[in-house]
Structure 1
């Protein structure tokens, strides 16, 4: 498949798995044994028949030419995307041309691909016409005004609750338990301020969380107070900071920045989940512009988000920024080529420069937990009971976050380094550095750590 620029690695394929069980089951199907009539096309399609428990094999077809990531179709009853058969077929394809030779697609695979691409073309054609007369501007303005009134009432109430907490002493927060915060968060949901609700819920986990919890609670209360005051005085703020406040409050926004076309290298992809929603974060680096962009996608009800761009791929596409000074979130726009493996590496900085970059970013967004940074020539090293990334060419270091220290990726990083400098991409914030991807010195593929 010449348009793919080379075959994916097994790690890139397994990064698409919706969960660990699918990853394990897909790995077992990555050999030629259960497959028949497997093939591929130059347009970026892979297909095959996988023997299952029934009399008929499962028909599996994958469209690799979709610039937003692979699309899948399988006749198995699984509700996971991709299913284990799709993962197995991709692993088979990644192993070399012998097991998945080029050739014409069978009718069942060709019909799905043709129908899918025809629908995509119809959608692109219909979008400009559909957007011309969209919406009711006056109705939208009235709804926005009503919501702003509710948020103002909620922020004012939250200010009073914070004042009551501080007046009574932080020890009272430990005695009140989590119910106090959950009830307050529910009030913020009623006020249509989901950002405030989320931050209030986080307060509930701080009391009795270990030594120094009163300090951490006071810090978080101060940040919520700052956000409340930012909303209540938003008319006095510069436009960029006012947009950031609206975003942190939880008001919806559209990616209205000018489209930036570039070759975007996928630096990291990882999921976080709660009982209701799975959030996928994909970090991109523009190889021409030097810009960093964050794509967010969501999956409800335990389903994995649809957008999947494994680490080490590169795509030529446009991205548009969301409003807010210093905000890195963007929306993926028109794609001009499918994702393909790339040997490109992002430029790096020292650990001192990384810490300074986070400090500078806080001026534009005081509620920012971390910033994306690529560290150049660092060595993972133990630091008492913890770990740090030490600058190989200086005397500075960044501690790893507690989250990073508890992940298996730490030991992958240590093994990759072997005591030698490595390049590491991750998130640098007030809790330390969380490594997400690493590259060995010289040549070598990206290793995902998350």
Structure 2
């Protein structure tokens, strides 16, 4: 066996997951509780995970073996890696002492590891008779082996992609029929049936390897209990879901950027390493760190970092993950800038990006270029033309004033407009135009009062996300200094 592997990060492990459902399931198994006889040595990690049966699942991961990571688990899952392999890798990545360093793999793991590595050695075996000896022969053999492996991996990847597309198509057909049945029977029945039918439908989309559809269906299930006006909201979301299903089935007829958006919304994603490998796709700029927000999703912490390019004038969103209560690895100070290369994920108006090479240390920040309330709404409207499923768009608002709920109705009436109500009735009113935005629900009271204090001497610049629920403020600038809210 090979030498000891460098311990991976949680983000590297999460990048291996075949879908979002596997990420969540693997994250739940990243605690020491269900694991026993776990260890790592010679480029392999192994362990036994207690499940619902009498016998634990036997899981082993070959971290390289000369042909990339490999996985074996006695569970019945057909996903690779399965949730047990992901959980074991997350446990190992976190440095848990449950995964003992050193030692000898148990027989059930050692046999599989040995067979796999012997197959890899045969693929990279000696060259034909008459081939040159010495370093040149070794290089030629290595090149030939890499070429054959690359071709085999490419062919296998295409085969897996085609099989997954077939499963997704079958899932969308079932989903479309269920939406038709829902509308034919009337929306009133959705409130009586409760959440269980939605969860069952979401599980079917997970089986079809369409995690994006599953997530949207789960959101639908919460609407009937969301209060007054829920039938209208449910109908609107069903229409968007129907539109997404139709987009998937006709993706070959769509413009390439819109087709990429549909695939992303359904749940197909690219690896960050593949994006960054395309030199022509790299965008080097001086990127201002606009905001950093953490959200807890079970045992997984998701960090969103918003950037703004000085030269490109374009926003970018970086995602980073932390498992088992650990903070995500990526951390950038709000208000600073970095000279770095990014690669954007495909899709119409896509803002998500992968962070590539950084050049030098952090730089002093610079004032972001902003817009007015009306321009922000127009930008969001244009984004919806490219991506009808977008929840919000990042924007920097210039010269705005927070309006507390006690004054919100008066401010809206004075402008002759219909003032929407956001978090506890707060609004962001433009100082130079007769317009205002409701603050999005979920915005913390402390952030709103901090913003009010910063604006005591006049209008402020605020970065946040503008969407159909209102404006969610994240960062304000006061006297040239960025203040996270």
Partner of 1:338: 361
Q: Distance in 2 between matches of 1:445 and 1:298?
A: 28
Q: For 1:432, which of 458, 470, 483 is the aligned residue?
A: 470
Q: Distance in 1 between matches of 2:307 and 2:442?
A: 22
Q: What's the offset of the Cα at 1:301? A: 2.9
Decide whether the 8 Å contact of 1:379 with 1:419 is kept in 2.
Answer: no
Q: Distance in 2 between matches of 1:227 and 1:233?
A: 10
What are the residue-to-residue correspondences of 1:18-167 with 2, within 5 Å? Answer: 134=150, 136-167=153-184
Partner of 2:483: 447
Partner of 1:354: 376
Partner of 2:400: 378
> 1:339-394: per-residue Cα shift (whole Å, max 9, x none)?
24x24110111000000000001111110001110000000013245011111011
Partner of 1:171: 188
Q: What's the offset of the Cα at 1:276? A: 4.1
Q: Distance in 1 between matches of 2:333 and 2:442?
A: 22
Q: What's the offset of the Cα at 1:205? A: 1.1
Decide whether the 8 Å contact of 1:269 with 1:280 is kept in 2.
Answer: yes
> 1:55-91: per-residue Cα shift (whole Å, max 9, x none)?
xxxxxxxxxxxxxxxxxxxxxxxx89xxxxxxxxxxx
Q: What's the offset of the Cα at 1:300? A: 2.5
Unaligned 5+ segments in structure 2 are 1-93, 96-142, 410-423
Instruction: Report the secondary structure of 1:403's partner residue.
Output: coil
Q: Give the TM-score normalised by the residue count of structure 1.
A: 0.68
Q: What's the offset of the Cα at 1:338? A: 2.4
Q: What's the offset of the Cα at 1:274? A: 1.6
* Count of matched residue positions in the alignment of Structure 1 and Structure 2: 319
Partner of 2:227: 210
Q: Distance in 2 between matches of 1:419 and 1:231?
A: 51
Partner of 1:195: 212
Instruction: Report the secondary structure of 1:271's partner residue.
Output: strand
Kindly indicate whether residue 431 of structure 2 is the aligned counterpart of residue 392 of structure 1: yes
Partner of 2:203: 186
Decide whether the 8 Å contact of 2:316 with 2:353 is kept in 1.
Answer: yes
> 1:300-335: per-residue Cα shift (whole Å, max 9, x none)?
233221111121111111001111111011111111
Q: Distance in 2 between matches of 1:300 and 1:173?
A: 35
Q: Distance in 2 between matches of 1:332 and 1:258?
A: 12
Partner of 2:455: 417
Decide whether the 8 Å contact of 2:342 with 2:356 is kept in 1.
Answer: yes
Alignment RMSD: 1.9
Q: Distance in 2 between matches of 1:423 and 1:367?
A: 28
Unaligned 5+ segments in structure 1 are 1-78, 81-128
Kindly indicate whether residue 251 of structure 2 is the aligned counterpart of residue 234 of structure 1: yes
Residues 444, 269 of structure 1: alpha-carbon distance in 2 compared, 3 angstrom cutoff: same
Q: Distance in 1 between matches of 2:457 and 2:229?
A: 34
Q: Distance in 1 between matches of 2:455 and 2:394?
A: 21
